[in-house]
Amino acid sequence: MASFQITGGRKLKGELIPQGAKNEALQILCAVLLTKEPVTIHNIPNIRDVNQLIDLLGDLGVWVTKIGENSYRFVASDVNLDYLESDTYKRKAAALRGSVMLLGPMLARFKKGRIPRPGGDKIGRRRLDTHFLGFEKLGAQFNYDANDGGYYQVDASNLRGTYMLLDEASVTGTANVLMAAVMAEGITTIYNAACEPYLQQLSKMLNSMGAKISGVGSNLLTIEGVSELHGTDHTMLPDMIEIGSFIGLAAMTQSEITIKNCRIPELGIIPDQFRRLGIQIEYKGDDIFIPAQDRYQIESFLDGGMMTVSDAPWPGFTPDLLSIVLVTAVQAQGTLLIHQKMFESRLFFVDKLIDMGAQIILCDPHRATVVGLNRQLPLKGIRMSSPDIRAGVALLIAALSAKGTSIIDNIEQIDRGYQHIDTRLNAIGAEIIRL
């Protein structure tokens, strides 16, 4: 288990280029199974979860060729379905939450699929009902056999288009069902579909491969099934979660940071939510400039009520940035209520911030009240452990702003979602040592 040793209290200055979007990558990479022709993908982040999925695709028989620093070519012309029966597949797929999205392409192209219960962050219950209810609506039949080592077996020999109302606007559930539907017979209508930029990117990629998807960007998708898809060339968006993390980092450490090539129109309300914390944000073309600020003040609602930041399906605020907003509020002036509606364990890292000197009240598993210190007291360095990807980076931001030295254990969680984060931050003045 690796650790970061962080010397806090250093002001950073320079430019950061966001990596490709992790959550888009996990969908886009699974989609290469939909065709036997070459698919080239650019701006793939070099992070643990994505590399594990690329490795898994290679084991399945997909030809994987690296053609640039962040570009790969995939050719799924000779997929080995027998590999799905192996212990190696079970171990690798179970360790990766995104592996569940292999099912949709498998069902569409090969008419069957097999997946173990996937892993991922321990942030609360993450059910798969939306995926399987959608597959069943398309005519697939699935079976979960605990005696078979905990595999989901799916038979999709007769997929037909239909109308479906998803029980929740699940991003991965929508992506999975969408990929299964593009080659189903007839027309499929998906209502209450997730419409995050990741889904829009996936839909655009599938359409460039020959799919017929309309309603992209809305919560009502219509898919006219086609018999086959062909290859394409696709460039991924920059990671909006990393961009938001860098905004919070600049504010907490009183740093002057320019975030390059942000695709600002795709960020939705993310910049505005950080502005509500009092953070100055300037647009310079497609770059975001955060000036060094001694202090920033949390806004109040118009009636004087306490500001609340909560997560919601897109175009609402993404739950992946609530941990970053929470830690950023620690040194603000004012009080903020964080309401994490989706996952019941995602706020369980605040005890570590409290140990560092933050004033936070954990109201219940879903809500925390942050009373900003307004720079009156610095956080102090401690030893702590990263429970999940986003909490890990929130703790890293806290440690970079703190007085003294901190150690963060279990940084494999951070590596799952952030590409060479220590090297990139050290390049603009941080002092992070990987132990």
As annotated, the binding site for UDP-N-acetyl-alpha-D-glucosamine includes: 97, 320, 342
**Which residues, in sequence order, are CB contacts of 48 under 8 Å at separation 6+?**
412, 415, 416, 417
Q: Please give the Cα distance from 357 to 380 (Å, whole number).
A: 7
Closest CA to 351 of 385, 325, 318: 385
Q: Which residues pair with 187 in a beta bridge?
A: 224
Q: Which residues pair with 310 in a beta bridge?
A: 339
Closest CA to 60 of 85, 40, 94, 38: 85
Residues tagged in the binding site annotation for phosphoenolpyruvate: 22-23
Residues in the chain: 435
- Catalytic residue, chosen from 121, 311, 388, 415, is 121
Residues tagged in the binding site annotation: 22-23, 97, 320, 342
* Complete DSSP assignment for 292-347: --S--B----TTSPPEEEE--STTS--GGGHHHHHHHHTTSBSEEEEE--S-TTTT
129 is catalytic: no
Contact between 213 and 31 (Cβ < 8 Å): no
Q: Please give the Cα distance from 132 to 138 (Å, whole number).
A: 10
Phi and psi dihedrals of 150, rounded to 5? 80, 40
Show the beta-strand stretches assigned E in 216-366. Answer: 220-224, 232-235, 256-259, 282-284, 287-290, 307-310, 335-339, 359-364
Phi and psi dihedrals of 259, rounded to 5? -100, 120
Placement of tokens 């697939």 in the chain: 140
Closest CA to 189 of 217, 215, 211, 207: 215
Q: Which residues are known catalytic residues?
A: 121
